[in-house]
Structure 1
């Protein structure tokens, strides 16, 4: 399959991807901040409202993450005007940067005989595709992660310094990735997988000192650094017991296999075993990508599993990318007879990933596939139904984040436009959707089984439903 695309260049593939990203930005120009991205919007709004005079967010809504992404949002709003479209243009720029780094990683680490068209397979990874539409900081973190790997492999000290600083200032997970890059660097040198340029070591010092300076400033301003004192977020930074470690380990493994990715690791494991066993087939490019995949996966495992913070699929996008590159390399190294069938199966599984919908009683990482996009038209239909039925919004309880539109959609929201807090005992109506994971199973089943269903809208498994309390007659 990939040999038929031999005439295509990496630049042409990159141009195709960029066109797709531009079209996506136009189509979803009004798509609001979603899920965890809403909190990023709230913090960016604080910086914007304070005229960019302060970038250290108050403890009352500071999760502890460094402020690079929210600062960039606030600056873009200040320069180009505060709107969803402005934020999406910023995301488009970052997305283009991510796929440029992917093209460099593929070009420098695909073995001989693999067409540039193989990069398209990497670009189809479901969570990566979904995150190109999400106004969160994960694409920025992925950019700096790939930038770090490319700069390390190509021995570019100045660029490597910028990449490491970006890792540390984008997200707390950047600390894990910074550590992983350092370990990868040491292993590469130990096995002579890259040249020894001593100037690259200064990058770690410069990045660490810069981040340390920020931590000192934050401590002086807030009295803490890294581990927030905000109780809403502090609970996610706690160590957990053995039972939860086991559960988190299962969730961690599941994250690698969900949404069609199981096909990657189903094929990768036996091929990787064969590659390690047959020492005569050693290849520098495969070794480099395999080591990076192993080290980053292990560091992220020990950095996340022992803690209470929920594990999301988007945290491991770099691992998915590396795994796909290693798999493609191994398929061509061993000249697999049915490689076209295997690669076609990967494409089909990746595309099917956007249609994986779990039962409503099972929590789902909604920002990990494009499935979440199907929710927003349903929301519009439901609110039109509520308006036409002349129901009082204040009588409708929900845990859908409709009351945060001042940050999600950047639309002013008055108190009269806000829904009631979810309470089975007092709500006359309840609005349910599987797009949120906060409602407990017993609450969900009680409403679905005992309350009167007034209206429901659904699309390929995503639903939003309005129920009436049979014990209350308030309209």
Structure 2
């Protein structure tokens, strides 16, 4: 479908992006580094900043991802000053890119009269929204993935090569998606009756720069440091091991849950209804063929890496899959159901997706805290706990808090505060903080020998400070 950008649509897109920027910057001193981003992005960026970029390789106990994003953040800190607000400012560009690229992708496939219904069905996925306000590499991966997909569909090979560099050199997962996009690109532009070798080389050429640089990087690590990805002393080494058969089943179930979590179950229910009522021929039309090929290819590449490995399945890993699937189902719905009914259905789907930001599971149920905006109250609760400890003259390192709060505060708040909370251990901690984060059994066990001192609550979340009576009685 020919893309015709109407002035009214561009104005709406501009104000959507502007509104996002205003909200994100308003929260720039509130939302700190969170969850895996503390180890994935903040700590490595500090390393490059403090060493003045004298080393290209991170220490052996750091993350194993290619360091392009961490270098970018550290470099911008040198120019603009190191602060939480600065970090949000320099990361804001990536969600904006995603919003614009989703707009372009939808315009390529969706008629004007249905455009905004489908666009919001895609844009308002809870996990996508959650990452746009956080500081992490997944928002970068999504942005460059969407740029790459639009370049593939337009067959803009030079731009595709540039976009792939921004994705494949940011993380190993980005490189995994890159390989999936290569398969998709080859299949989309495979010519019937032509030699397979020629089409393979044609598809490979735009991918050669990122593949070559990635291979050079990991080969240099092996040559100079003795390992390709993760060293034996890396604290995440155990998560890179292969799973047992029962572990594989667990990963499959976890992946299935991730795809229906936070309101996405209604997208899948709609998909099954449409497939049952209209059949596969209406589902897999020639118009949607390229998007289906991309979706299946990147899903296959991701499953090949994630399912056999012990690393827990992260919902944010599959944001791109969520967005493309919502786009596909939205288009199929509007092409097969009368406009009025389709618009009503899309309205309820949008509400369901927004409701995902309020899904709060019981304390004993593990939850992907970085996959919806349900985390918003966490930051104020954490500050209240710190202020309470300061008021009561409690050393933070005597307080058991647990992940993701055992890193130095400077890595979380982007400052010079070297204090830190301890890992949870009720035999060692004088105080215990119990919260919804991260729902580990050790937290539940630790409060059996405690006396409640203070509880803070906000929007269904809570953090409680306990005196450890077990420690006192020893």
Query: Normalising by the residue count of structure 2, what TM-score does the alignment of the two structures yield?
Result: 0.89
Report the 3-state secondary structure (helix = DSSP H, G, I; strand = E; otherwise coil) of the residue aligned with 1:60: coil
Deviations 1:242-279 (A, max 9, x none): 00000000000111111111111110133245555346
Is 1:182 aligned to residue 176 of structure 2?
A: no
Paired position in structure 2 for 1:407:
411
C-alpha separation in 2, matches of 1:341 and 1:79: 49
Q: Does the 8 Å contact 2:25/2:89 carry over to 1?
A: no
Structure 1 unpaired stretches of 5+: 1-5
Residue 264 of structure 1 is aligned with which of 267, 275, 295?
267
- For residues 150 and 228 of structure 1, do their structure 2 counterparts lie closer, same or farther at Cα, with a shift above 3 Å needed? farther
Two-structure CA RMSD over aligned residues (Å): 2.5
Report the 3-state secondary structure (helix = DSSP H, G, I; strand = E; otherwise coil) of the residue aligned with 1:368: coil
Count of matched residue pairs: 459
Paired position in structure 2 for 1:323:
325
- For residues 9 and 230 of structure 1, do their structure 2 counterparts lie closer, same or farther at Cα, with a shift above 3 Å needed? farther
Report the 3-state secondary structure (helix = DSSP H, G, I; strand = E; otherwise coil) of the residue aligned with 2:82: coil
Residue 358 of structure 1 is aligned with which of 352, 358, 361?
361
Paired position in structure 1 for 2:221:
218
Paired position in structure 2 for 1:52:
53
Report the 3-state secondary structure (helix = DSSP H, G, I; strand = E; otherwise coil) of the residue aligned with 2:377: helix
Paired position in structure 2 for 1:3:
none
Q: Does the 8 Å contact 2:402/2:421 carry over to 1?
A: no
Paired position in structure 2 for 1:156:
156
Is 1:19 aligned to residue 23 of structure 2?
A: no
C-alpha separation in 2, matches of 1:274 and 1:56: 54
C-alpha separation in 2, matches of 1:37 and 1:335: 42
Q: Does the 8 Å contact 1:275/1:282 carry over to 2?
A: no
Paired position in structure 2 for 1:244:
247
Q: Does the 8 Å contact 2:182/2:204 carry over to 1?
A: no
Q: After the TM superposition, which of the residue ranges 243-252 and 349-358 deviates more from structure 2? A: 349-358
Paired position in structure 1 for 2:114:
114
Q: Does the 8 Å contact 1:10/1:103 carry over to 2?
A: no
Paired position in structure 1 for 2:34:
34
Report the 3-state secondary structure (helix = DSSP H, G, I; strand = E; otherwise coil) of the residue aligned with 1:32: coil
C-alpha separation in 1, matches of 2:443 and 2:344: 42
Structure 2 unpaired stretches of 5+: 193-198
- For residues 166 and 250 of structure 1, do their structure 2 counterparts lie closer, same or farther at Cα, with a shift above 3 Å needed? same
Q: Does the 8 Å contact 1:144/1:167 carry over to 2?
A: yes
Q: Does the 8 Å contact 1:111/1:329 carry over to 2?
A: no
Q: After the TM superposition, which of the residue ranges 38-47 and 174-183 deviates more from structure 2? A: 174-183
Q: Does the 8 Å contact 2:315/2:371 carry over to 1?
A: yes
- For residues 53 and 425 of structure 1, do their structure 2 counterparts lie closer, same or farther at Cα, with a shift above 3 Å needed? closer
Q: Does the 8 Å contact 1:398/1:431 carry over to 2?
A: yes
Paired position in structure 1 for 2:130:
130
Paired position in structure 1 for 2:427:
425
- For residues 366 and 120 of structure 1, do their structure 2 counterparts lie closer, same or farther at Cα, with a shift above 3 Å needed? same
Paired position in structure 1 for 2:384:
381
C-alpha separation in 2, matches of 1:9 and 1:273: 37
Report the 3-state secondary structure (helix = DSSP H, G, I; strand = E; otherwise coil) of the residue aligned with 2:221: helix
C-alpha separation in 1, matches of 2:137 and 2:422: 30
Q: Does the 8 Å contact 1:395/1:420 carry over to 2?
A: yes
Residue correspondence of structure 1 range 289-300 to structure 2 within 5 A: 289-300=291-302
Deviations 1:358-414 (A, max 9, x none): 222222111111111211111222233333344454443221515421111122234
Report the 3-state secondary structure (helix = DSSP H, G, I; strand = E; otherwise coil) of the residue aligned with 1:59: coil
C-alpha separation in 1, matches of 2:213 and 2:423: 43
Residue correspondence of structure 1 range 311-350 to structure 2 within 5 A: 311-336=313-338, 338-350=341-353
C-alpha separation in 2, matches of 1:320 and 1:38: 25
Report the 3-state secondary structure (helix = DSSP H, G, I; strand = E; otherwise coil) of the residue aligned with 1:463: strand
Report the 3-state secondary structure (helix = DSSP H, G, I; strand = E; otherwise coil) of the residue aligned with 1:454: strand
- For residues 230 and 390 of structure 1, do their structure 2 counterparts lie closer, same or farther at Cα, with a shift above 3 Å needed? closer
Q: After the TM superposition, which of the residue ranges 401-410 and 457-466 deviates more from structure 2? A: 401-410
| TM-aligned CA deviation for residue 176 of structure 1 | 2.1
Report the 3-state secondary structure (helix = DSSP H, G, I; strand = E; otherwise coil) of the residue aligned with 1:453: strand
C-alpha separation in 1, matches of 2:317 and 2:351: 23
C-alpha separation in 2, matches of 1:454 and 1:88: 35
C-alpha separation in 1, matches of 2:19 and 2:191: 39
- For residues 244 and 376 of structure 1, do their structure 2 counterparts lie closer, same or farther at Cα, with a shift above 3 Å needed? same
Query: Normalising by the residue count of structure 1, what TM-score does the alignment of the two structures yield?
Result: 0.89
Q: Does the 8 Å contact 1:33/1:41 carry over to 2?
A: yes
| TM-aligned CA deviation for residue 446 of structure 1 | 3.6
Q: Does the 8 Å contact 2:126/2:262 carry over to 1?
A: yes
Report the 3-state secondary structure (helix = DSSP H, G, I; strand = E; otherwise coil) of the residue aligned with 2:370: helix
| TM-aligned CA deviation for residue 316 of structure 1 | 0.5
Q: Does the 8 Å contact 2:83/2:415 carry over to 1?
A: no
| TM-aligned CA deviation for residue 116 of structure 1 | 4.2
Q: Does the 8 Å contact 1:47/1:53 carry over to 2?
A: yes
Paired position in structure 2 for 1:231:
234
C-alpha separation in 1, matches of 2:130 and 2:186: 33
Q: Does the 8 Å contact 2:45/2:74 carry over to 1?
A: yes
| TM-aligned CA deviation for residue 65 of structure 1 | 0.8
